[in-house]
Every structure is written in structure tokens, then in C-alpha cells.
Amino acid sequence: MQIATTGLVLKQVKVGEADQILTLLTPDLGVVSASARGSLRLKNKLFSASGLFCYSEFTLTSGRSHYFVESAQLKKGFYGVSETVEGMSLAAYMAEVALALSPAPQEAEPQLRLLLNCLYMIGAKRMPLRQLKAIYELRAMSMAGYQPDLLACAGCGKYEGGDFYFDPVEGRLLCAGCADRARHIPNLDAGALHALRHICLVEDKKVFSFTLAPASLANLARVSEQYTLAHLEHGLKSLDFLKTVLE
């Protein structure tokens, strides 16, 4: 039985001299593995559509444990991602987060759309990579069912004014006063708090539409990474390398 789908190549594993096992994020099947025979040969019909971060139309056949790629046609290559070490490292991190989340078919389409938009933004160089990283982390986690409670201070109901503390484990806010009583040090200024709410709560088409001062971005980047790691419950190898190249 053949299945037609689109998919983004998140991972490649070489098998033998010219074969690959591709890990694909698809809108209708979720994350799947597929053998692409001969796809590492330049003249092979699968070569141009099966590279890392290629978004392609695939025809798959189902095997016992995974799929086989029968044909593939490239839709978007995201070649700008590989122009810098920083961009490529961020894309690899995003792919690892997507794999860790492993969205079910009903959740995969918005996760795929978010990742495609982020890869485009990396290549377009339209915003700081640290800001893009925070957007992807918080939005992907929210889509996966880990949306934090950001409406008001969990202790007294205060909405804004002064610094706030964002608890990366509980996913809740405390104003400076409540944070002090709970022996926490505020980690969000007003700009970072606004950005945090924006990323998690706005409609998809507006998620990239904000600017942030460097100090606020530093706060946002710190809490978004802490929140992601707390809920994935394990480290990510790609993040370790990303930290060595991303300023």
C-alpha cells in the first residue's frame, strides 16, 4: 500500500554505501522512519529531496517496522540554514526538540508548520537567533500540551508591574512580592514577560512579530530554555554544541 505525504527530513542515518534511513516529520503520520535506498548517490532520483531539512513530497510504502521511500520530490530546501554554523546548529537543535516531542498525527501539522517557518527565518536572517530559539521552544512546548499559565501571578493575581518570576517546572508566574515570599528571585523584566505571553498566546501568523531589548532577550532566552529542558526531562546533545557557538 502506497501513502502520499509531505515531510521534513529531521535526521539521516547512513546505511551501507548509499542507503539512508530518514526520520520525517509529516503532517498526517507524525514522526516516521523511512528507508531511502540509494539516496546518497548523486544520480539517484531521491538524492535532491532526501537531504537534511529538505521539505519534500514523498511516496511511501509500509513495511513491518518502518516505511520505504518509493519516490520524492523536493518542495523546499532551506539552503540558507547551512550558511552559518550558528544557523545550522540552531536548526539541528530544533529538529532534536521536534523528535523528542514526537507529535501524534493530530498534533503534527501545526508542529511541522512552526518548524518550517523557523527554518525559513533562520535562512532569512531577520531576527536574532536567540530570539528565534526562544520562540520555537515556547511555541512548540505549548503546542505539545505544555502551555504555561501566564495570565497573572499565581499568588495574588497581579497582571503586570515590576519584575516577575517564571517557574520553569510549575509553568506559572509569581510577581516580585510573591516570589520573595516563596524565596525566588525574579527572572523576567516587563519586556521579557510581554514576549513570553506573546509567543505562547498569539495566533500563529503573529508569533514572530515583536522586538526585544538585549537585556529582555537574555531573560527570555534563559527561562525558555529552562522550561523546555524541565518538561522534556532529558538533555539534548545538539543544545550542548549550540551553546558553544550561539552568543
Of 60, 77, 94, the residue at which a domain comes to its end is 77
Q: With CA atoms as reference, report the closest residue to 223 among 178, 177, 169.
A: 169
Are 205 and 144 contained in the same domain? yes
Using DSSP, state whether 1 is helix, strand or coil.
Answer: coil
Using DSSP, state whether 18 is helix, strand or coil.
Answer: coil
Domain harbouring 58, CATH code = 2.40.50.140
Which 8-state DSSP code applies to residue 47? G
Are 115 and 195 contained in the same domain? yes
Domain harbouring 128, CATH code = 1.20.1440.120
pLDDT given at position 246: 86
73 pLDDT higher than 80: yes
Are 97 and 55 contained in the same domain? no
Which cell numbers in the block locate residue 57?
513530497
pLDDT given at position 126: 87
Q: How confident is residue 205, by pLDDT bands cut at 50, 70 and 90?
A: very high
User: Percentage of residues in the chain with pLDDT exceeding 70?
Assistant: 100
Are 125 and 20 contained in the same domain? no
For the chain, the domain total comes to: 2
Residue 69 structural domain? 2-77
Task: Render pLDDT for 40-57 as a digit per residue (tens, 0 to 9).
Answer: 999 999 999 999 999 999
Task: Render pLDDT for 90-148 as a digit per residue (tens, 0 to 9).
Answer: 999 999 999 999 988 889 999 999 999 999 999 999 899 999 999 999 999 999 999 99
User: Cβ(94)–Cβ(136) under 8 Å?
Assistant: yes
247 pLDDT higher than 80: no
Least confident of 47-61, 152-166, 231-245: 231-245
80 pLDDT higher than 80: yes
Of 51, 77, 103, the residue at which a domain comes to its end is 77
Are 147 and 237 contained in the same domain? yes
Are 220 and 165 contained in the same domain? yes
61 pLDDT higher than 80: yes
Are 31 and 134 contained in the same domain? no
DSSP H/E element including 197 = helix 190-201
Residues in Cβ contact with 141 at an 8 Å cutoff, skipping those fewer than 6 apart: 101, 147, 227, 228, 231
Are 86 and 72 contained in the same domain? no
List residues bridging with 13 in a β-sheet. 21
More confident residue, 128 or 64: 128
Mean pLDDT for the chain overall: 95
pLDDT given at position 1: 81
User: Cβ(242)–Cβ(93) under 8 Å?
Assistant: yes
Of 49, 77, 105, the residue at which a domain comes to its end is 77
Are 36 and 150 contained in the same domain? no
Query: How many other CB atoms are there within 10 angstroms of residue 156's CB atom?
Result: 11
26 pLDDT higher than 90: yes
Are 157 and 182 contained in the same domain? yes
Are 60 and 118 contained in the same domain? no
Are 45 and 113 contained in the same domain? no
